[in-house]
Amino acid sequence: MARKKSEPKIDRNIKGVEGLHAEVSEQNITETLETNFMPYAMSAIVSRAIPEIDGFKPAHRKLLYTMYKMGLLTGNRTKSANIVGQTMRLNPHGDAAIYETMVRLSRGNEALLHPFVDSKGNFGKVYSRDMAYAASRYTEAKLDPICSELFRDIDSDTVDFVDNYDATMKEPSLLPTTFPNVLVSNNTGIAVGMASNICGFNLREVCQTAIARIKDPKCNLLDTLPAPDFPTGGEILYDPLEMAEIYRTGRGSVRVRAKWRYVKEGNLIEIYEIPYTASTEAIIDKVADLMKAGKIREISDMRDETDLNGLKLTIDLKRGVDPDKLMAKLMKATPLMDSFPCNFNILIAGMPRVMGVGEILEEWTAWRSQCVKRRVFFQLQKKKERLHLLKALKKILLDIDLAIKLIRETESDAEVVPNLMIGFGIDQTQAEFVAEIKLRNINKEYILKRLEDVETLEKEIQDLSDTLNSEKRIRDIIIKELKTVADKYGKDRKTTLIFEHQIIQVEPEEDVPDYPVTVFASKGGYFKKITPQSLRMSGEQKFKEGDSLAMCREATNRAELLVFTDKFQVYKTRCSEFEDSKASVLGDFLPAKLGMDEGENVLAVCLPGDYKGSMLFVFENGKAAKVDLSAYETKSNRRKLTGAYSDKSPVRGLFLLKEDDKQVAVYASDGRCLIFSTAQLAVKTTRNTIGVAVMALKKNKLVEKAVLLEDSAIQNPARYRAKALPAAGAILKGEDAEEKQITMEL
């Protein structure tokens, strides 16, 4: 199409292009970020996502204050749509966002231990991903009674009020909560470059801890606040050291698992409490995936039977299934056990800070002290104003006739107040008050009562002034209010604590084939397992130069192994973790395979079986300890146990005893030998027991080794046998000192 004559001709040469480029304005990227991005980031941090010391985000505070001004603390419920509409005068983010905020604060949603909205209708469930809440036109709400503690004395100048977004009304910058709500209510927020994730704690425990902290800043928080308390219940896998670290730093992770029960009549499992971070749909979906993949074969059906009585997930079991083993498997593979990541990031004076629980309580106490002081000062000023008026009344009542005369002789109404001011030497406020007194109140009874009020007010003003100037009295007021809240609204814990030694948990069996094997361990720390077929076809076992056989025993592929080391530790593993081997290879080097510490060497390998029996340790100092084998049995997946035996003296012999009457020969460095029966020693339950004296050693003499009598070369054991311990033994004769090939079968 031809260009019109009126259109300017575009010069497309290089010079023209350069001219066009010259017209493009340039702006430094740091300036762009500062002017465009930073205001948004600060708004998200300060005015949206991060809670403040009262425990609320702005959206929460605007909603609750609107409901308070609507009279919903004491009045009847109203439609949620009405509340949402009224809240938009303070919160311009739209009705959907406001209603979602209300849903989370409601009793019906069960997201909070102490909900702030008394709801009626379907508000969904925090533990359900798909259960949608009803529209705001169908539900009703009012404030829960606990909200009286949020708004107590809010009209007594306890907190600052600021303009709303269009400066048409005022709203509180914080709510004067009488308890540390910041630790009671769960709160999660994602801002720009930072986030906040505060778990809820039990209200009664928080109040008790705040009181203890006020009385003694060095108190142990774990004594009164052992762990978080989640609205959905469950069990916390409790570790006091981990919890103390979370309390100190404000960061960490809390492990929570579901609660369940086995119903024998129907051969089914009922799950009735789940972790706060999990949902019923996610759990069911994960179990279904495991069933499809063939990893879970013990379940015939799983369904959600949640009703008005509460959450319930039902699992139908196949015949012969052990419910403990199945749940151990599900806890490991599904959201039935989950972690709550803690990040105690809170706005303090507009600045985000990650604080520990102790710091949070200190900040809350300091802020609450200011609220109480402002309330006391407000009351003091009101009483001073009242006293000021009554003092004027006292002057008037001393000569009431003069006052009446002044008023009657005043021609203009506007001159009544000035004449009273001149006649009695009072100010305008006092004169206005006197002028408004009714004629019927000018009697003796009224006068006497007002004079009594003056005396009472003077005493109250003095008391309030003393309170305002005394930090101790302010603290006592806070403590009294905390006790009242704890007694009135406190509830028992929903989330129980379970220590590691209390966990009744069966290690889930992996889908590992079980078949007979023969295991070999060398003195140098090499290990291999060989199937019967390979063993029949193989020749002589291969060892590294200078190494030799220490243990050879028949076992199964699923059998557990205990590997004792010279660093007083024992490593737990299974035969299935080692590949099937042959006689012609060295096998796996245990220190590398088990991730042992640098310089750590293997002393012995044993197969504990059902953990019935004991371990015998003979030490260089002549002592021996017999430890119950069950002391090495753990319910968790721990692979390394420290303190496997006493570190007071080097070990010179260790034996697995399935029978309690084994004969042990102990050899000393002075050529003596002692034989004793293991039945002479009492079994100890503590792994690192120092044991009892067995061989009485001479000065500077030590035990060199200890072996089972059946593995020794002793021909005449009666010569060295001791009837009572400790004993010195006897000098070893030549015929008893011959070397014998020893095979340690542990």
Residues forming the active site: 138
Name 277's Cβ contacts closer than 8 Å, sequence gap at least 6. 256, 335, 338, 339, 340
Q: How far is CA 11 from the centre of its chain?
A: 70
Distance in angstroms (rounded) separating the CA atoms of residues 296 and 511: 10
Tokens of 648: 């007071």
Residue in the structure block whose two tokens are 């495991």: 290
Contact between 608 and 644 (Cβ < 8 Å)? no
Q: How far is CA 106 from the centre of its chain?
A: 23
Contact between 111 and 277 (Cβ < 8 Å)? no
Residues forming a β-bridge with 665:
675, 707
Tokens of 606: 């044993």
Contact between 617 and 645 (Cβ < 8 Å)? yes
What is the separation, in whole angstroms, between the first and last Cα of the chain? 98
Give residue 568's region: left, alpha or beta (phi > 0; psi -120 to 50): left
Nearest-CA neighbor of 527 among 600, 578, 565? 578
Distance in angstroms (rounded) separating the CA atoms of residues 608 and 746: 8
Distance in angstroms (rounded) separating the CA atoms of residues 459 and 742: 96
Tokens of 126: 């925090």
Helical ranges in 167-260 per DSSP H? 181-184, 203-215, 221-224, 240-249
Which element (helix H / strand E) includes 238? strand 235-238
Distance in angstroms (rounded) separating the CA atoms of residues 235 and 259: 7
Distance in angstroms (rounded) separating the CA atoms of residues 382 and 374: 12
Distance in angstroms (rounded) separating the CA atoms of residues 44 and 89: 20
